Amino acid sequence: WTGDTMELRLSACILLVLCATWSANGGNILVWYTEGSHWINMKPVLETLVDRGHQVTVLVPSSSLYMNANEPSRFRYEPFNVSFSKDAMQDFLEEFLRFSMYEIDYMSYWEIYIRFSEIIKTQMQFSIQYLDGVVKSEVVMKKLKEGNYDLLLADPIYRGSDLVADILGIPLVFSLRFSVAYNWERHCGQMPAPPSFVPGAMSKLTDKMDFSERVWNFLYYALQDIAMSHIFGKVDRYYSDVKGTPTSACELMSKADIWLIRTYWDFEFPRPFLPNFKYVGGIHCRPAKPLPEDLEEFVQSSGDDGIVIFTLGSMIKNVTKEKANMIASGLAQIPQKVLWRYRGEKPATLGANTRIYDWIPQNDLLGHPKTRAFITHGGTNGIYEAIYHGVPMVGIPMFGDQPDNMVHMKAKGAAVILNLNFITTEDLRDTINTVINDKSYKENAMRLSSIHHDRPMSALEEAVFWIEFTLRNKGAKHLRVQAHELTWYQYHSLDVLGFFLTIVLLLIFIFIKTCSFCLHRCCVRKGKTKKKAE
Ligand SMILES: *[C@@H]1O[C@H](CO)[C@@H](O)[C@H](O)[C@H]1NC(C)=O
Ligand SMILES: *[C@@H]1O[C@H](CO)[C@@H](O)[C@H](O)[C@H]1NC(C)=O
């Protein structure tokens, strides 16, 4: 035996001991791949889990636009290959942005329907290719099986985590903003959503609906149910194929132990939910840090007028020249200083009060005492930072959950909504002035902020608690309602109603029969007496 092998054995032993003691304290958590704002939201949870002694392993597709498996990180990365390139993904996103930002407002319902169906179809193809990269790759599946994971954490928007959790036989925790019309929450999670007072997600309705709105909301749920069964047929077939038995995606989704919903009652309209649904909106929010010196100097130069922060989110880097000029000249006419996150060409009409930045420390700026308003595309992450710091908003929503998000903020009196395709310079200027000068917007934003902060533990702590809870208890199936086991007619008690209806009908039948019998006898007797009298 050489000294080298001795050493190797020794260090292997030490490693083994370390691993054994470590796994006694921490869990081994597998995280499904996510992108963009979903990843921004997931990251603080993962970092806290690492701080608390858990091992976190994140699946990263080769086409990821946001994650780099080769980057040094506090997480372990498990790369997998997908059959399309980063460019293909980027092209798809750009086309989607063009459609949602500039074209949709000028299209007929029919054209929108056709385009949207195409987009959903392409997205479904991507989803299947991602799934292929994991489930159909022997290398990856072998690694996952040998990884001895205790739990899978996933945003179900990125399909397939339920299938992999099922194959690995480990608990599943979802982190979800919402599904369209709450399809998954309702059908796969069994969360109740009466259409009379729970507006379907993305319907742009509030909880105060008049008759016609309730008609629309009812139809919206029904139409989305039909659309879902069409779209997900493909996933069902895929799952069935992999598992070798008829399996629906909804059935596997329904096995999720905990659903972490990324909103809270500062944002949501009150609604019924289930014990395994936890509302953890604002996970990524934190107190503001001091600004870099040059930024602080600019902010301070605004004096009593204060500053306005303008961003259209991480996905929208520029707008058309014409729109940029319209926006810039609107911003030039307000007394505040403006920090605009924008990567396009510098607009000719840019005012002296406006500065353009590639990137801004958004949370730190929103938490700055000089901040008067936030002009936003209405992404959930940005809205939550504004709620956290109590900043009123001007919303220019574009796509996805953004229009619906802004409707919530408007209904709560903390925002005004504008449409980028139809506003003028004057509209923009007047709206910003209104949101800043009409004190009700600031008051409502502060009220939402105090609701946001007034809870037993922070959103991040709560999310981490429920993940650790699931680890400690090896699942959370005791929170799962029996509704999952019922058929649709049992769920709505239609069988019971049918039973009662049968009894009532039977009683009515007996009553009528008895009456007619009595009547008949009476008549017959009367007839007889009559005859006798004659
Ligand atoms: C991904 O593809 C590369 C290049 O073909 C290969 O070297 C690597 O092993 C693959 N990774 C996995 C996880 O299959
Ligand atoms: C945004 O910039 C990119 C290149 O930097 C350009 O290709 C694209 O056309 C621009 N978008 C708009 C709407 O002007």
Q: Where are the beta strands (DSSP E) in 291-366?
A: 307-311, 337-341, 354-357
pLDDT at 7: 57
Residue identifier of the C-alpha nearest atom 10 of ligand 2 = 318
Determine the length of the chain. Answer: 534
* Ligand closest to the CA atom of residue 60: 1
Instruction: Give distance in angstroms: CA of 316 to centre of ligand 2.
Output: 10
Report whether residue 90 contacts ligand 2, using a CB cutoff of 6 Å: no
Other Cβ atoms less than 10 A from the Cβ of 471: the count is: 19
Q: What is the pLDDT of residues 133-182, one digit of tens each?
A: 999 999 999 999 999 999 999 999 999 999 999 999 999 999 999 998 99
How far, in Å, CA of 221 to CA of 203, rounded?
A: 9
Q: Is the pLDDT of residue 23 over 70?
A: no
Q: Measuring CA to CA, how many Å separate 32 from each of 50, 84, 118, 243, 302?
A: 16, 18, 26, 19, 44
- Whole-prediction pTM: 0.89
CATH architecture of 26-84+130-282+458-485: 3-Layer(aba) Sandwich (3.40)
∠ CA 34-36-359 to the nearest 5 degrees? 150
Reading the block at residue 396, the tokens are 């220019």
pLDDT at 13: 54
Mean pLDDT computed over 439-449: 98
Please state whether 335 falls in left (phi above 0), alpha (psi between -120 and 50) or beta.
Answer: alpha
Ligand 1 pocket mutation pick from 57, 81, 145 by most atoms within 8 angstroms of CB: 81
Instruction: Give distance in angstroms: CA of 315 to centre of ligand 2.
Output: 12
Q: Is the pLDDT of residue 21 over 80?
A: no
* Ligand closest to the CA atom of residue 81: 1
Residue type, 215: V
Mean pLDDT computed over 126-139: 95
Q: Percent of the chain scored above 70 by pLDDT?
A: 93
Question: Would you say 127 and 111 are in contact if contact means Cβ atoms under 8 Å apart?
Answer: no
pLDDT at 20: 45
Measured distance between the N- and C-terminal CA atoms of the chain, rounded to whole angstroms: 133
Q: Is 315 exposed, middle or buried (0-12, 13-18, 19+ CB in 10 A)?
A: middle
Residue identifier of the C-alpha nearest atom 2 of ligand 1 = 81
Report whether residue 344 contacts ligand 2, using a CB cutoff of 6 Å: yes
pLDDT at 2: 46
Lowest mean pLDDT among 108-112, 412-416, 420-424, 469-473: 108-112
Report whether residue 260 contacts ligand 2, using a CB cutoff of 6 Å: no
Q: Quick one: CA torsion of 259, 264, 269, 273, rounded to 10 degrees? A: 30
Please report which confidence band the pLDDT of residue 533 belongs to, taking 50, 70 and 90 as the band edges. Answer: low
Question: Would you say 353 and 305 are in contact if contact means Cβ atoms under 8 Å apart?
Answer: no
Instruction: Give distance in angstroms: CA of 10 to centre of ligand 1.
Output: 32
Look over the chain and give the mean of its residue pLDDT values, rounded to a whole number: 92
How far, in Å, CA of 392 to CA of 306, rounded?
A: 13
pLDDT at 6: 54
Number of helical H runs and strand E runs in the chain: 19, 13
Report whether residue 69 contacts ligand 1, using a CB cutoff of 6 Å: no
36-51 and 459-472 helices cross at what angle (nearest 10)? 70
pLDDT at 15: 52
Q: Is the pLDDT of residue 4 over 60?
A: no
Q: What is the pLDDT of residues 491-508, one digit of tens each?
A: 999 999 999 999 999 999
Q: Is the pLDDT of residue 334 over 80?
A: yes
Other Cβ atoms less than 10 A from the Cβ of 414: the count is: 30
Buried b (16+ CB within 10 A) or exposed e, 21-32: eeeeebbbbbbb
Question: What is the helix (H) or strand (E) element at residue 465, kind and residue range?
Answer: helix 459-472
Q: What is the pLDDT of residues 84-121, one digit of tens each?
A: 999 998 999 888 888 888 888 888 888 888 888 888 88
Reading the block at residue 445, the tokens are 């934003």
User: Which residues, at least 6 apart from 234, have a Cβ–Cβ distance to it below 8 Å?
Assistant: 124, 128
- Say if strands 393-395 and 28-31 run parallel, antiparallel, or are unpaired: unpaired
Mean pLDDT computed over 369-377: 97
Please report which confidence band the pLDDT of residue 231 belongs to, taking 50, 70 and 90 as the band edges. Answer: confident
Which listed CATH number (3.30.200.20, 1.10.10.10, 3.40.50.2000, 3.40.50.720) goes with 293-453?
Answer: 3.40.50.2000
Q: Percent of the chain scored above 90 by pLDDT?
A: 77
Instruction: Give distance in angstroms: CA of 97 to centre of ligand 2.
Output: 11
pLDDT at 19: 47
pLDDT at 71: 80
Backbone angles phi, psi at 79, to 5 degrees: -75, 150
